[in-house]
Amino acid sequence: MKTFTVEKTPRTPLIHFDFEKGTFEISGTSIPEDADVFYASALEHFERFLNHKLTNPIKLIFKFVYFNTSTSNYIISFLKLIKAKAPKQYYTVEWHYEQEDEDMLETGKHFEAVMEIPFKFQEVELF
């Protein structure tokens, strides 16, 4: 499999995993009616990828405009997987946030501290 993509909707984010490039991006608004159903397949694909021997760097990218509490649990799940299965030198976690969205920046810093994983923070103009 080369890519795994779930197109965004008004309630769910774009999920684009490029296995060849090692980029795993989740971006947009995430307020799915059933987060378990929405994120299950993406989490499964991500874990399957991490179970193989990693030879190239990988990048986990979060670009949220807004997300709900159930999405928070899945952000933590993705972070737990990468921390447990990938050597530190093989991965980067990027947290993108819209210009002047201090709440989203602070949320990213909270995940960084709780998970004890260094993040790269990137302020961007509108998504």
Contact 7, 45 (CB under 8 A): no
Query: What's the CA gap between 35 and 33, in Å, rounded?
Result: 6
The model scores a pTM over 0.85: yes
What is the count of structural domains for the chain?
1
Give residue-wise pLDDT tens across range 11-57: 999 999 999 999 999 999 999 999 999 999 999 999 999 998 778 89
Range of the domain at 114: 3-124
